Amino acid sequence: MGGRKYRDMADHIRYHEMTDGTKIPYLDALGLIQLKEGSSREKDRIDVGALTRISRETMESKESVSLDKLRRNPPAL
């Protein structure tokens, strides 16, 4: 985590609410970028590229990033 603490990421914590009301915390795209951007792992560098693209597209369209956009094969509705 590059020396970051939980409280450092507080602005990037979002919640996915399940049908039973359970709220699952997760980091938004910008928070994940911050955590991964200094990594030497190839997978992390690929993730940063994808998250940056998603974040840019989201800001342009003023939508929030949904978990489905991060999945390779979003579930059919």
pLDDT tens digit sequence for 47-73:
999 999 888 877 766 555 566 666 666
pTM: 0.64
User: 13 forms bridges with which residues in the sheet?
Assistant: 27
Query: Quick one: pLDDT at residue 66?
Result: 61
Instruction: Answer whether 32's CB lies under 8 Å from 65's CB.
Output: no
